[in-house]
Chains A and B, each alone.
Chain A
C-alpha cells in the first residue's frame, strides 16, 4: 500500500537544519555540469529523492539560495550534488566556475517528504535531464542495500552528456531515450509510450522528475498506460540557477 497525496500523516522523512559543509571534491564531468562532494557537519542521512538547499552569502550579507537533489546514496559518507550549469544561473555558475575543494558552503537538508524512496518497495523512476539526479540516488541506494531489482528506470535527454553519470544509469538497466542523438540501436527521438510500457509495475510507486514540460509529458504518458495518478509522485524542477 503506497501513501497518497491525501494520505494520513506518516512517519516524517528525515530533515535537517542549516549546516556547514566542506567541499571535499569538485568535478566537471561536462562543461555544463559540476559535481560537488560535501562533508556535511552533523549530517542527517537523507533518503533518495530528497534535496539540499545551498545558500551563498556575499560580503554585504546578500544571499542567494537554490535547491539541488542529492545524487549520492544515504550510505555514502559524503553528500553529492550534481548540478547543471545554467548560463544565466546565479548560483549554478558560481558552483561550477568558482567553488574549489576546501571551500565551506552553507547548506540545509535533507528536505522533502514526498518525492522519496526508502528502498522498501518496487519503484519506477522516469527522469528528464538533470531530473535523473534523484533517480541516481535511488540506483545507488538500491545497489547499497542489495535490491537493484526493485527499481525500473527510464531517462530522457537531448544527448547522453546531458544526463548525470550516464554510465551508471545505463549499467542499472535504464531505458535511455535521447532526442538529439542515437543511443545503441535507438534512433534519436522522444521517450515513447512503448518504451515506458514495460516499466509500469502494479503496486510500484512511480517517480517522475524533470522540467515542468518533461514532468507533464511523462506523467501523462504514465496515466495513459494505466498508472493510477495517486501512485505517481512528481518533482518539477523549477527555474533554478
Chain B
C-alpha cells in the first residue's frame, strides 16, 4: 500500500460489500462513456450473429431475438473509471441461449464481441457462459437508450463494463485470445473488478 497522501481524509466510509476496491457508488446516475460517435440503429434492421468456431453459425433478427426465452440480470455494474451502479437491472436474452443454438466447437475457448461501430472486446468463453452474460434491450424496464448501447448491448456484469459491448451485433468464437479495442489501447485483457484488473499489467 502506498503511503498516505498528506491531508487526505476522503468521504465518510460506507461499508458496502457490493462495492469492489477503488469503486464508488453513482447511485441514480448512469454515466455514458464511449470512444465513438453514437450510431443510430433501427431495431427492425438490427440483428445479431454468433459465428466462428460453432457448429451452426446463427443469426437472429430483432423479432427472432424477442421469441427467445427472456432473462433478466439484477445486480451491480462496475466501470473501470471507478464508478459502480448498484442494484440495477437489464432484460434480454442470456448469451447461453445464443451459444446453445450455435453449438460452440470443442476448441472454442474465447469470444470476440463486436459492435456495429467496429468496437470489439475479447472475453474467455467461460466468462460469457453459465448465466454470466446477456444481450439486453431494456434497462430497469425501459427500452435501452441509444447512448447506453441501444437497441441491444451485451452485459457481462462481473467484469468491468467496457467488456459489456454497446450496439452489439456479432459474437465470434475463437480458439485463442485476441485483444479487442480497449485491450489494444492499454486496458486489461480480463478486467475483473474484484482484482482491480484495470490496465495491462495489473
Contacts and interface: CB of A to CB of B under 8 A. Distances in A.
B36 to A, nearest CB: 5
A66 B118 contact: no
A122 interface: no
Interface stretch (B43-51, B100-108, B180-188): B180-188
A219 interface: yes
Given A112-B186, A229-B117, A223 B2 contact: no
Interface stretch (B61-69, B77-85, B91-99, B126-134): B77-85
Contacts of B120: 6
B37 A114 contact: no
Interface string A176-216: 00000000000000000000000000000000000010001
A71 interface: no
A94 B8 CA distance: 7
Given A15-B199, A229-B39, A238 B83 contact: yes
Given A5-B117, A220-B38, A229-B36, A61 B6 contact: no
A98 B186 contact: no
Given A57-B1, A64-B11, A229-B117, A238 B79 contact: yes
Interface stretch (A73-81, A103-111, A127-135): A103-111
A212 B9 contact: no
Contacts, number: 131
Interface residues of A, number: 54
Interface of B is mostly: loop
Nearest to A222: B37
Contacts of B119: 5-6
A174 interface: no
B41 interface: no
B7 A114 contact: no
B37 A234 contact: yes
A117 interface: no
Given A6-B119, A90-B11, A103 B6 contact: yes
A29 interface: no
Interface stretch (B27-35, B136-144, B149-157): B27-35
A60 to B, nearest CB: 8
A212 B31 contact: yes
Given A66-B82, A112-B186, A234 B36 contact: yes
Nearest to A4: B118
A115 B7 contact: no
Interface string A207-241: 00000100010011011000001101111101110
Interface of A: 4-7, 9-10, 12-13, 15, 17-18, 55-67, 90, 94, 98-99, 103-106, 108, 111-115, 212, 216, 219-220, 222-223, 229-230, 232-236, 238-240
5 contacts: A56-B10, A61-B1, A114-B185, A229-B37, A234-B37
Given A112-B185, A219-B38, 10 more contacts: A10-B184, A62-B10, A113-B184, A114-B185, A115-B35, A216-B32, A232-B36, A233-B35, A236-B34, A238-B33
